[in-house]
Chain A
């Protein structure tokens, strides 16, 4: 396929893809390789990385950092992907209706998205998660709630420009119902920007999840990269690896997603370029 060749011909996109695929494999394989889970104490606390059994060292409680990093990938990816799917679903639904029908619905949606741009989204996220009680679900719901307006804006814009094209007029003349026109005619043509913004949103959702966990608003029953950093704050001065490694994991994951997003953007809009 032309699109795939264009995507993989960019070295940065290829790099992003390979790194992200590796992280997905680690996340999926974590319970198979480390069956005892990330909370088991395996040795002395704060052992530096390098020992064969502890390649990433041990944390404040003497737990294997390597296992924590692998399990942390599960939380980050799960929250990042679920929150993005929810946000994209909401954004596509509301954005397409607003862009297709225009008028009052459109006005209302635009005011709502503007509202979300102005209010401090992260503080709202903290309030949502704190009030709903910290858990995986509340993180997903909260992140989805603060991110859908971005998608809705993009989808609305695409629908506005596509709704008066000839192929849509043709579908209308054929007697297609509005819902069918929206989902089978316009939406497939509006997909490229939705795909690009979604890949970037997964990265932002992972950053938001790690920030929540860092503030103690993560799921108390799960070990995530953010909560590892939070737990290591007191040890940072003596054991750099306890904070450096989980943070690097977050950064590498998000960077890979952003490289993929950039690559998708170029591959899907070959004419626009940079």
Chain B
């Protein structure tokens, strides 16, 4: 049963990837002009014959279905086209930046999970207490604040006014640290953008953990555990929290697409050299193939992440069956 579930999810992921590529093909047609006009613009030279030869070279004179098939074939082979501005393959540029973004996201998600579960757990144990109310208020604030502005405020307070943390980049320029010193340097630089990204998710996780824990606490097996004479601490940790955490796995998957949006804004504020900053560079230099490539790559990565969280969920919760 479980294998079938995983196989079905795999098929779904492939279908999502295909849909993303189809959507991209039609998005290209939204932009005014085609590759030929851009190339001719760069060459500063555009008579009829030259345009025609360019269109033939890029297959733009062929019928739509043929163009679509060619596009799908290209993308399937990892060819996302050339960047207009850098004349490098789009995929190469993205892959160069991807590790920095993954590092930032991993850091943010760990902070968000640890902080959120702690806050939510504390709030659930005493509903109506100060911690509980504080969690609700903070969640409301973090849902209402523009993430890029929150980042700027963090920078203003911790980098400009207090001068505790570096405001920009991933490491100190020209310091050439190696080994542990470099790790520490990156660790200092990651704090501000990482925390900014983490706050929103921390608020969500706290609320979710709180609701789930209160729900689980009412179930019979918890009463049984108490009746057996296990200490309240053990009941909370082993029986309630463990079961309450299961929905968080699915939630992390569903939120991954929001995380990517946060990357674009927060990386840009802190000049973090990741895919998010790259998306901004693509917008400001009107590098359409690069922007579209970032959409395709991030969409496929998010759907892969969803696949992983779904499989993890099915392993943690044996009740998951096909079709859920």
Contacts and interface: CB of A to CB of B under 8 A. Distances in A.
Interface in A75-116: 115
B160 interface: yes
Contacts of A207: 146
Contacts of B298: 120, 123
B97 to A, nearest CB: 14
B149 A250 contact: yes
A251 B142 CA distance: 9
Given A120-B295, A207-B146, A251-B145, A126 B260 contact: no
A130 B144 contact: no
Nearest to A132: B30
A247 B306 CA distance: 33
Contacts of A167: none
A120 B260 contact: yes
Interface of B: 16, 19-20, 27-28, 30-32, 140-141, 143-149, 152-153, 155-156, 160, 254, 257-258, 260-261, 264-265, 268, 279-280, 283-284, 286, 288, 291-292, 294-295, 298-299, 302-303, 306
B292 to A, nearest CB: 6
Contacts of B146: 207, 210-211, 214, 226, 247, 250-251, 254
Given A203-B144, A250-B149, A258-B140, A123 B261 contact: yes
Contacts of A117: 254, 257
Nearest to A208: B261
Contacts of B145: 247, 250-251, 254
Contacts of A124: 295, 299
B257 A120 contact: yes
A236 interface: yes
A27 to B, nearest CB: 18
Given A119-B16, A236-B160, 10 more contacts: A123-B294, A123-B298, A131-B27, A132-B31, A207-B146, A215-B264, A236-B155, A236-B156, A244-B156, A247-B152
B153 A247 contact: yes
Given A119-B20, A211-B147, A127 B295 contact: yes
B156 A243 contact: yes
Given A215-B283, A247-B146, A118 B257 contact: yes
B294 A214 contact: no
B295 A131 contact: no
A62 B120 CA distance: 47
Given A123-B295, A131-B27, A258-B143, A215 B160 contact: no
B261 A216 contact: no
B252 to A, nearest CB: 13
